[in-house]
Amino acid sequence: MELFLSLLHLVCLTSILCGNVSQLVLQLYTRRLRDVTHVQQFLAFFFVINAFVSLGTPWMIVETLVRHWTFGPSACRAYQATAQVGRTILPYIIVALYVVTSMSINPSRKCRIRQSFTSMMFVIIFALLVLFIIIPVIGSSTLIPQIHGNHLPGELYSVMFESFFCVIPFSEEVYTDGVALFVEVIVPLILCTICAIRLKMTTREMTSMMSIDSVNYYLLWISVIHFSTSVWYYFSVETKRWIFDFLPSPMDYRDILCLLPYISSSLTWYPASDMSALWSLHESQNESPESCQSRNSSRHVRLVVPHSTSALEDCGYNHSYHLPLSSQNTCDV
């Protein structure tokens, strides 16, 4: 069973890295990050965080096989950083995608200014989450020793060894499961629901925005996958044991809870990639003719030269300058 779980971790690691990194490269290659609505930028941030979450997979594979932590305190902090970033930052990136997408439907100049302000507000929110949640979690991560042995009559041990477990005292004392559930699940889930309803109403009012309706569909899939796999982490220990009581004896609820975030990151990149492609198509279709002409003018310039020197002389130029040797007096650059 441990080998099967390790294989699942490897499959998730491969899917996360290949999917998210390839989408980042595709966004850079196709220049989608130049999107003025900031939707592609938040999608790129979503791919980066998904790839960062997968960095904790190697430690989980070893812990699944040996059933205790075999690394030092630095590795413990690094693993908790990858796990906490996924639990804290990813839901608010989904909220940002909902908000920015709903604001980006037929944006006017004033709306674009509002989009920039909203994007800056989300950057501040991400910084506050890192400062007040992620950094304390990383700083408080530590190893707790536990003595194991075969108990014999007379309070003696025939075999005794010491193992370690990577724990977070900050989560047990300050950032409890109830507070984490409110910050990382309830608040972003409510915001996503409100934005999804608003976006759906907008697409009903505008019959030509079929691509936006599809974007709402992909955002819904991302939200369902993420929140359905992350909500189990915040239940009490007794509830977790009762829910996962069907697992065979070598396994317990911690094996499933450690695997679910990687399953989420290995699945959410697919609808996010479809959303990125759809939004790029939507932006290209909604470009104004002036912007297309200004973009094309840098590639093909046609110089027109007057047929006579009278125009040049009127502008103060000397008629001794020679005209191009062309019957049409034109040239392409």
pTM: 0.80
Q: Could you give the domains of the chain? A: 2-140+176-293 (1.20.1070.10), 301-332 (no CATH)
Short-list 4, 82, 98, 84, CA closest to 42 = 98
* Mean pLDDT within 4-31: 91
* Mean pLDDT within 12-32: 91
Phi, psi angles (nearest 5°) of residue 144: -110, 120
- Residue 109 parent element (H or E): helix 109-129
The Cα 230–Cα 225 span in angstroms is 9
DSSP line for 192-252? HHHHHHHHHHHHHH-TT-HHHHHHHHHHHHHHHHHHHHHGGGGS-HHHHHHHTTTS-TT--
The Cα 308–Cα 87 span in angstroms is 73
- In the beta sheet, which residues pair with residue 302? 332
The alpha helices in 30-56, defined as continuous H runs, are 39-53
pLDDT > 90 in the chain, percent:
38
* Mean pLDDT within 54-76: 84
The alpha helices in 130-209, defined as continuous H runs, are 135-140, 169-173, 177-181, 187-205
pLDDT tens digit string along 284-323?
A: 776 654 444 444 444 444 444 445 545 444 554 454 444 4
List all residues 6 or more positions away from 8 whose beta carbon is below 8 Å from its beta carbon: 259
How much is the mean pLDDT over the chain? Answer: 79
pLDDT tens digit string along 178-234?
A: 999 999 999 999 999 999 888 877 655 554 555 667 888 899 999 999 999 999 999
The Cα 259–Cα 149 span in angstroms is 29
The Cα 238–Cα 222 span in angstroms is 29
Q: Is 202 exposed, middle or buried (0-12, 13-18, 19+ CB in 10 A)?
A: middle
pLDDT > 70 in the chain, percent:
74
Place of tokens 């997968």: 54
Q: Are 78 and 165 in contact (CB under 8 A)?
A: no
Task: Tell me the C-alpha to C-alpha distance, in Å, between residue 1 and each of 6, 24, 61, 67, 249.
Answer: 9, 35, 12, 12, 10
Q: Is the pLDDT of residue 87 over 90?
A: yes
